[in-house]
Amino acid sequence: MEDYNELDEELQIYTPSALLRRASLVFEEAKQNKTLVGLIGVNFSETIRIRSLLGAFASMQARKEIVSRSKSKLPENHLIGRGTDSLIICLPGMGREATKHLANEIAFELNIPITYEGFTFDLAPKVTVCEYPSTVGYVDLRDVTRIWGSFIDIAQTREAQVNVMSENDLFNINEKQRIDRNLIKAIPNGEFKLVYQPRVHMQTGKVVGCEALLRWKSPELGDVCPSVFIPRAEATGIIHSITPWVIERAGLSNKFLQQQFGGEFRTGINLSPANVNSPNLIQTVKKALDRSETTAQNLDFEITESLLLDNKSMVMNQLNSMRQEGAHTALDDFGTGFSSLSLLARIPLDVLKIDQSFIQKLDQTESQMDLNVIKAIRDLGNACGLQIVAEGMETREQVDILINRVDVEYGQGYFFGRPMSALEFIEAYA
């Protein structure tokens, strides 16, 4: 089957375009004859590390070794070529179990360390397996290529070295892509809205601020949960269009809310890791605030504790820049990570929000351990001069415990109010 007329000069396997042309004939034949095709992908990611250590030539030698060892296990009837960052093997007439067995043999060979100029490397690449058409269906080659790339990405996230893709994996891929297609249209079609949840001084019941929360109702998908669409917005980069929209709308609403609740009223806005890691964050915030004709002093920009721990220097630089613009900053979901007093003392923060997982247990078991954790967080926050907010407040008992036994002043949660539109907010609390 191999006709090496369009070969990668270094690896001596088909180039991506040549492989696609030949694979299309294999898939068409399988469709006509109702036979199977096995697919194996071997990821080249470890060779990138070799390149960073020893250069491009060493990396290419490692790739050649992967190709050579893989080819040594292949049957005569096969196609082998290079993808974007992987080795792709096409096996006409081979079903899933046989393909999986062969993939395990290839993985065993590739687990033998390679040596180059005195350095020894463990390759142990991820190996992906699927079967045409049962895993992907009778789709055209363009769709097979799209799906296959997603399969290889999925395999990279799993612990197993050899990963057999299933119909359920395909379903999840297609669902993500449905979300992505619709998400692109959400802003121009006016499908997003903001709702606001009150932040309350618990002893007096006075509403002192709120948190702006994004909601999406798609004509095709219906109401989509933020925990579903926000990760897709981050993965696709659409979050960089969504965040300015949120800041602008929240800024406009905050001017309206301040007229009802006073000039100290502030609206919290969540920033994603993608936002904070963007060098354009400050410029994005400035432009959105200019469009809303409001100032940064009226807003709290919230980040999660996990983001702080993942990239301290970047986060601290961004928060310092936000502070210079006059914005207030908040640390959300606090208590789920391992932030220290010294770290909290060094970062520019105004608000510390206790994660709801500690609050929601209080009236169930009244755990002394949970109370001690909340008190410790309170003490940390007070030592740093921060406003402490308890999230996830749902019952009167939780409020009483926090006021009388922990001395936390501010709360947010369904006990005080569910997220609602700005007009509903004013009707409920003004």
Q: Which of 46-55, 85-94, 132-141, 300-309 has the highest mean pLDDT?
A: 85-94
374-394 in b/e form (b: 16+ CB < 10 A) is: beebbebbeebebbbbbbbbb
pLDDT, one tens digit per residue, over 118-149 is 888 888 889 999 998 888 777 666 777 778 78
pLDDT of 35 > 50? The answer is yes
Nearest to 87 by CA among 166, 164, 14, 24: 14
SS (H, E, C) 181-243: HHHHHHCCCCCEEEEEEEEEECCCCEEEEEEEEEEEEECCCEEECHHHHHHHHHHHCCHHHHH
pLDDT average, residue stretch 89-104 = 95
Residue type, 19: L
| pLDDT for 346 | 80
So what's the pLDDT on residue 328? 94
pLDDT at residue 338, rounded to an integer: 61
Is residue 209 a contact partner of residue 265, using CB atoms and an 8 Å limit?
yes
pLDDT score, position 339: 61
Mean pLDDT, residues 384-388 taken together: 91
pLDDT at 146: 77
DSSP state letters, 119-163: EEE-----EEEEEETTTT-S--HHHHHHHHHHHHHHHHTSS-SEE
Structure tokens at 109: 């060979």
108 has a pLDDT exceeding 80: yes
Long-range contacts, stretch 414-419, CB < 8 angstroms, 24+ apart? 416/197, 416/198, 416/200, 417/197, 417/198, 418/197, 419/195, 419/196, 419/197, 419/213, 419/215
Percent of the chain with pLDDT over 90: 57
> Does residue 2 have a pLDDT over 70?
no
H or E element, residue 105: helix 96-110
Q: How much is the pLDDT for 5?
A: 62
Lowest-pLDDT choice from 87-91, 286-290, 354-358: 354-358
Report pLDDT for 4. 47
The more confidently predicted of residues 4 and 399 is 399
- Cα end-to-end distance, the chain, whole Å: 77
- Higher-pLDDT residue of 347 and 246 is 246
* Count of other CB atoms within 10 angstroms of residue 421: 14
Predicted pLDDT at 118: 81
Q: What is the mean pLDDT of residues 45-56?
A: 84
Quote the pLDDT of residue 263.
87
In whole numbers, what is the pLDDT of the chain averaged over residues?
89
